Structure 1
Amino acid sequence: MSKFVRSRRAFWGDARFLIGIAVVALSIGGVWAVVSTSGTTTPVLQATRTIALGEALIASDFQVVEVGLGTVTDRYLAPQELRTGQIASRTVFEGELMATAAAEDGDANRTTTIVVESSTGIPAGVAAGSVIELWHSPPVDDGSGQGPPRILVADATVASVTKTEGMLTAEGTTAEVVIDRADVADVLAAITGGSVLSVVPIGSTS
């Protein structure tokens, strides 16, 4: 009887030993896989300036960086994947890796940019990539001043902000904004018709 018991203990001892070896082997394999993946880099595009929604994507606005992305490589745009005619489907900020989802084929009739001067100045927090409202105060018919302000474009994106100052020019701030082409006629009519324009960040009040 005692011999039978000793035999069973030897068998289970061998099984536990083999299971232990298998666990160690799997552990080593997992660590090797992680190290191997972490040591692999992929060339992707990184924005060298802020690219506003609707702007064309061109090679000079990017640099190529080597990044260890592991299994998410396809989420970012590789240099060879940048094609003529692509635009930003959302604002891409300076230093950001170019996500594949942030690029789309351009529609030349969808958006354009226009330069406006804000009569109330432009808040310090407004910069390239900011989403703003464009307000205007049209002149009253009798020429006695400006009418009450109202929204001209409810959703526009700032492409750039420029401050002008000097002895020969009046000091002021202009903004280049990305708007739908459907809004172009109204904006130009407001500018040429003598409306006073104001750039207002989304979330602010006029």
Structure 2
Amino acid sequence: MMHPRARRPFFGDLRFLIGLALVAVSIAGVWLLVSSSRQTTPVLQATRTVLPGESLTSADFQVVEVGLAALTETYLAPQDLDPGSIATRTLPQGELVPQSAIGDEDAARTTTVVVSSISIPEGLGAGSVVELWHAPPVDDGRSFDAPRVLVGDAIVGSIAEAEGMLSQTRTDVEVVIDRADVGDVLAAITGGSIISIIPAGAGS
């Protein structure tokens, strides 16, 4: 007498189907990860140190292909560099350019001035954050008052040796400052103050 074949439990079949589904999801996830890692987007990268307030052109950047995935819109694409754009903060050489670091020329809050300083620490260069200190002359015209902070957050644009009789003791430094500080800086220069430049925070 033949016995009927026992049927597999329903729950056994269900576990088998769930296992297949998990394997399929895992394979799909790996495929999507590999696929997204292969997708690159052209963005701009600074080829030099760009200072706040500087006008920007395509000559300041190079186009690089990077895999940014969801962060693509965070960085500046070549077609997004509009005429009249300026840097709103320092862009070190080699940095990918974020959208937030680019602004409109009409909204610029900074400008550059040249000061002659008797004190330039070693290691300063374009992009260095510095403080401007000045010692104003006193009434007798033969001495100077105690040094005080003139601008607390200037940025070095360029450094060049001064020309003329004072070239042995002074160095011309172009600095980026807030427009609100221009009046005080020019007053210190024309008033005969001794101006010193130090790394930011060193005089605190």
Please state which band the TM-score falls in when normalised by the shorter chain.
0.7 to 0.9
Q: Letter of the aligned partner of 2:124 in structure 1?
A: V
Residues 163 and 171, structure 1, Cα contact 8 Å, conserved in 2: no
Post-superposition offset of 1:163? 4.7
Partner residue, 2:201: 203
After TM superposition, the structure 1 = structure 2 runs for residues 126-205 of structure 1, keeping only pairs within 5 Å, are 126-163=124-161, 170=168, 172-205=170-203
After TM superposition, the structure 1 = structure 2 runs for residues 18-97 of structure 1, keeping only pairs within 5 Å, are 18-97=17-96
Report which stretch shifted further, 186-195 or 106-115.
106-115
After TM superposition, the structure 1 = structure 2 runs for residues 99-138 of structure 1, keeping only pairs within 5 Å, are 99-107=98-106, 110-120=109-119, 122-138=120-136
State the alpha-carbon separation in 2 of the partners of residues 174 and 3 from structure 1.
Answer: 102
Helix, strand or coil at the partner of 2:7? helix
Post-superposition offset of 1:110? 2.5
Q: Letter of the aligned partner of 1:93 in structure 2?
A: P
Q: Compared with structure 1, are the counterparts of its residues 139 and 21 closer, same or farther at alpha carbon in structure 2 (3 Å cutoff)?
A: same
Residues 88 and 108, structure 2, Cα contact 8 Å, conserved in 1: no
Helix, strand or coil at the partner of 1:65? strand
Residues 44 and 79, structure 1, Cα contact 8 Å, conserved in 2: yes
State the alpha-carbon separation in 1 of the partners of residues 169 and 64 from structure 2.
Answer: 40
Q: Letter of the aligned partner of 1:119 in structure 2?
A: I
Post-superposition offset of 1:8? 5.0
Q: How many residues align?
A: 200
Q: Compared with structure 1, are the counterparts of its residues 17 and 117 closer, same or farther at alpha carbon in structure 2 (3 Å cutoff)?
A: same
Post-superposition offset of 1:60? 1.2
Report which stretch shifted further, 59-68 or 176-185.
176-185
State the alpha-carbon separation in 1 of the partners of residues 172 and 22 from structure 2.
Answer: 66
Q: Compared with structure 1, are the counterparts of its residues 3 and 130 closer, same or farther at alpha carbon in structure 2 (3 Å cutoff)?
A: farther
Helix, strand or coil at the partner of 2:83? coil
Residues 115 and 175, structure 1, Cα contact 8 Å, conserved in 2: yes
Q: Letter of the aligned partner of 1:141 in structure 2?
A: D
Question: In percent, how many aligned pairs have the same letter?
Answer: 59
State the alpha-carbon separation in 2 of the partners of residues 181 and 203 from structure 1.
Answer: 21
Helix, strand or coil at the partner of 2:106? coil
Helix, strand or coil at the partner of 2:96? coil
Per the normalisation by structure 1, the TM-score is: 0.86
Report which stretch shifted further, 96-105 or 137-146.
137-146
Post-superposition offset of 1:105? 1.9
Residues 52 and 90, structure 1, Cα contact 8 Å, conserved in 2: yes
* Structure 2 residues without counterparts, runs of 5 or longer: none
Residues 118 and 169, structure 2, Cα contact 8 Å, conserved in 1: no
Kindly report the root-mean-square deviation, in angstroms, between the aligned alpha carbons of the 2 structures.
2.5
Post-superposition offset of 1:106? 2.6
Partner residue, 1:13: 12
